Amino acid sequence: MVRPGLVRACIDSARLYGSGVAAIPVRDTVLLVNEGGAELGALPREKLLHTQTPQVFKAENIIDSYALALKEGRSATDDSTLYAAAGNTVRFVPGSVDNRKLTTAEDLTWLEEQVCAAAAGLGCQAGLRVGCGEDVHLLKEGRALVLGGVSVPFEKGLLGHSDADVLTHALMDALLGAAGLGDIGLQFPDSDEKYKDISSLSLLRLVGERLSTLGYGIRNVDITVVAQKPMLAPYFPLMRELLSKALNLDAGRIGLKATTTEGTGPEGRGECMRANAVALLYTL
């Protein structure tokens, strides 16, 4: 029941300090007893931690720790104990009471109950959130036309600070809006030169990572491009594949459509392209 954000935090800690072990403070009273079961006293909770998984270490250090334990004939109940016994310092990362380890048959029964409860009441159990996004970019000669990360052959391209991928921009706005994170103008301002001509797929990947860190998963997305031409349907399979990889999302959860305005308005006159998107998130 671990969340992606906790896994990432443990990995980041290991990169910086050599180890990252999820742990939470002990809340219950812990008693020390003798072999006969007689109480010898309560252990001070403020000095106790309940270790969890994930436990992440630099490979060479944890391998050496296991080698030393094997040589000395020692055993332990988790990796962090062997790591510390080898003289290493364990760095702890705040865990979660929801991060329950599945070890016994009782744990599996509990998991089945959680899954059944979520299926029975998806709306309240999964914390569904909806976001809408819309973006418009002018068409200009001499620019590449990039939509959904795909370079589409056309005599004009979209004008913008980045690659002006209007489809991906609308999708990002929908995802950010659903998570309460504003829009791409707030997250990736065009006043920042590091975003000049950047691939919108790279920004989309960052959006997906931020959602994951906040504990959100993507249920599905649906995007519509409004343009008189060119014909976009032949490029949808590749667009869907690239968007899927950027978000680590099943391609079947990505809807893509295109429509015209029957020659009316700025889209119909070939002055611009517009995209609308809807995204459905759920809490992990």
Q: Which residues, at least 6 apart from 152, have a Cβ–Cβ distance to it below 8 Å?
A: 145, 146, 230, 232, 235
- Phi and psi angles of residue 150, each rounded to the nearest 5 degrees, phi first: -105, 135
In terms of domains, do 134 and 222 share one? yes
Structure tokens given for 4:
């992606």
CB-CB contact of 270 with 140 (8 Å)? no
In terms of domains, do 66 and 153 share one? no
Residue 40 lies in a domain: yes
- Which pLDDT does position 123 carry in this prediction? 47
What's the Cα-to-Cα distance from 144 to each of 9, 133, 236, 284, rounded to whole Å? 38, 23, 17, 38
In terms of domains, do 133 and 272 share one? yes
Angle at 178 between CA 176 and CA 181, to 5 degrees: 40
Residue 116 lies in a domain: no
In 3D space, the residue among 215, 193, 203 whose CA is nearest the CA of residue 133 turns out to be 203
In terms of domains, do 195 and 259 share one? yes
CA 92, CA 35: separation in Å to the nearest integer? 31
- Phi and psi angles of residue 277, each rounded to the nearest 5 degrees, phi first: -145, 150
In terms of domains, do 129 and 247 share one? yes
- Which pLDDT does position 139 carry in this prediction? 94
Residue 112 lies in a domain: no
CA 8, CA 14: separation in Å to the nearest integer? 10
Greatest C-alpha distance within the chain: 88
Residue 223 lies in a domain: yes
CA 236, CA 156: separation in Å to the nearest integer? 19
In terms of domains, do 140 and 228 share one? yes
In terms of domains, do 164 and 87 share one? no
Which tens digits make up the pLDDT trace of 81-95? 999 999 999 999 988
Indicate the pTM of the whole model.
0.58
Residue 277 lies in a domain: yes
Query: What is the domain-level CATH number for residue 85?
Result: 3.90.550.10
Which tens digits make up the pLDDT trace of 35-89? 887 777 888 888 888 899 899 999 999 999 999 999 999 988 899 999 999 999 9
CA 82, CA 33: separation in Å to the nearest integer? 24
pLDDT beneath 70: ranges in the chain:
117-126
* Distance, first Cα to last Cα, the chain: 9
In terms of domains, do 77 and 143 share one? no
Residue 111 lies in a domain: no
CB-CB contact of 210 with 247 (8 Å)? no
With the CA atoms of 121, 127, 128 and 132 taken in that order, what torsion angle do they form, in degrees rounded to the nearest 10? 160
Q: How many domains does the chain have?
A: 2
In terms of domains, do 69 and 173 share one? no
Residue 120 lies in a domain: no
In terms of domains, do 97 and 129 share one? no
CA 67, CA 82: separation in Å to the nearest integer? 10
Domain housing 272? 125-283
In terms of domains, do 148 and 278 share one? yes
In 3D space, the residue among 211, 203, 213 whose CA is nearest the CA of residue 281 turns out to be 211
